[in-house]
């Protein structure tokens, strides 16, 4: 996610904080300072750090549940409306998605329960004399209620989608949950106009989150139905491992391609030269460098029969800009890029009956 700053790594998960979350901390410190000076500002920031910890624990709930199904979580980003645990891939089964979605709120509910057992009660907004268990209880009850709204991008929306997906196509289930999410966004926006302006902020995030989720599901639906061969680039240029950087530059300028498959003497795919790596190599100004020295070798390949969905998962996991496509004889016949998929989706939505083979 853009505009986020890495803070620390724990258990292989990179924790990131979105710039707007930092603004929120600054804003709260300012508001508290204006009301009660430095001690109040310190209390306000401590309150936020406590909230921050509760949200991180919540996100770890999602991450651990994902891990149980073999899905890693490369990073967790903290946003003003909560955290986002970015799973390496989407779970296959609705029931897995349901468990992963429910694991976060389950952690929040446990913290709330712990605070309640310790004598906490619901005090909102927190008062001067509130105990730490009051604060923890109130905070987590609010978090829980917000998370359980049956709308994207909240966890409740995911639970709803998983439940709907057992009865209707996945894409339709997502659309329903996303529409409800956008409905809530308008409601929050409306309430924000006449009440707490912070709700406007939340409305914006909810709206964007719901739209992204719907687009992702549409992509997933298309990618599940078609093989790679239906939308791969067939007309492309490849480079030989021994080609000079000059030849690579010529190819870059002469075509609209950004990334080039590289083949060795026997004609097998050896790697991919990305525009980024080419430019970086040119900066060194060494004429003896060959394409084979600077290409990425850790690029996986797919075959023409691979489903888009599988190819996508591979692309996401390796963070590859382009994946070479081989035929059954292991010959290079195509190139798959994120743009292909976008185009396939555009065609699909313009011509719903068309079947690409």
Residue 60 C-beta: closest distance to Zn ion, Å? 10
Residue 62 C-beta: closest distance to Zn ion, Å? 5
Give the nearer residue to Zn ion in terms of CB position, either 104 or 271. 104
Helices (H), the chain: 19-68, 94-117, 132-147, 155-165, 170-194, 198-225, 245-254, 275-284, 291-294, 308-318, 338-350
Residue 207: both structure tokens together: 């709206």
Residue 206 C-beta: closest distance to Zn ion, Å? 13
Q: Quote the CA–CA distance of 154 and 84 in Å, as a whole number.
A: 10
- Residue 352: partners with Cβ closer than 8 Å, 6 or more residues away: none
Residue number of the CB closest to Zn ion reads 104
Give the nearer residue to Zn ion in terms of CB position, either 104 or 261. 104
Q: Quote the CA–CA distance of 63 and 14 in Å, as a whole number.
A: 12
- Residue 72: partners with Cβ closer than 8 Å, 6 or more residues away: 12, 66, 87, 88
Residue 116 C-beta: closest distance to Zn ion, Å? 20
Give the nearer residue to Zn ion in terms of CB position, either 57 or 123. 57
Residue 78 C-beta: closest distance to Zn ion, Å? 12
Question: Which of 108, 184, 110 shows the shortest CA–CA distance to 139?
Answer: 108
Give the nearer residue to Zn ion in terms of CB position, either 184 or 312. 184
Do β-strands 75-79 and 82-86 pair in parallel, antiparallel, or remain unpaired?
Answer: antiparallel
Cα dihedral value 185, 198, 5, 174, nearest 10: -10
Give the nearer residue to Zn ion in terms of CB position, either 159 or 311. 159
Give the nearer residue to Zn ion in terms of CB position, either 157 or 324. 157
**Footprint on this chain of Zn ion (rule: CB under 5 A):** 104, 155
Residue 19 C-beta: closest distance to Zn ion, Å? 21
């Amino acid at each position: 996610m853009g505009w986020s700053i890495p803070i620390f790594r724990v258990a292989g998960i990179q924790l990131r904080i979105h710039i707007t979350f930092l603004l929120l901390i600054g804003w709260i410190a300012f508001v508290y300072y204006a009301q009660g000076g430095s001690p109040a500002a310190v209390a306000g920031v401590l309150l936020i750090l406590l909230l921050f910890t509760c949200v991180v624990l919540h996100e770890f709930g999602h991450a651990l549940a994902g891990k149980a199904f073999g899905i890693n979580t490369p990073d967790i980003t903290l946003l003003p409306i909560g955290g986002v645990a970015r799973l390496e891939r989407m779970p296959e089964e609705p029931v897995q998605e349901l468990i992963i979605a429910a694991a976060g709120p389950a952690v929040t509910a446990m913290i709330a329960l712990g605070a309640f057992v310790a004598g906490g009660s619901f005090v909102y907004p927190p008062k001067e004399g509130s105990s730490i268990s009051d604060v923890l209880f109130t905070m987590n009850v609010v978090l829980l209620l917000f998370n359980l709204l049956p709308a994207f991008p909240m966890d409740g929306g995911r639970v709803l989608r998983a439940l709907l997906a057992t009865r209707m196509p996945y894409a339709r289930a997502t659309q329903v949950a996303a529409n409800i999410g956008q409905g809530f966004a308008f409601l929050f926006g409306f309430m924000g106009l006449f009440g707490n302006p912070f709700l406007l902020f939340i409305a914006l995030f909810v709206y964007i989150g719901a739209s992204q989720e719907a687009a992702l599901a549409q992509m997933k639906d298309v990618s599940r139905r078609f093989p790679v061969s239906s939308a791969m680039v067939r007309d492309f240029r490849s480079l030989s491992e021994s080609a000079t950087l000059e030849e690579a530059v010529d190819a870059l300028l002469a075509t609209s391609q950004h990334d080039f498959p590289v083949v060795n003497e026997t004609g097998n795919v050896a790697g991919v030269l990305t525009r980024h790596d080419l430019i970086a190599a040119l900066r060194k100004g060494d004429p003896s460098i060959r394409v084979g020295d600077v290409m990425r070798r850790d690029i996986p390949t797919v075959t023409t029969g691979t489903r888009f969905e599988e190819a996508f998962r591979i692309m996401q996991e390796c963070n590859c800009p382009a994946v070479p496509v081989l035929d059954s004889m292991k010959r290079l016949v195509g190139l798959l890029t994120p743009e292909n998929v976008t185009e396939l989706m555009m065609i699909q939505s313009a011509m719903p009956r068309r079947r690409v083979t």
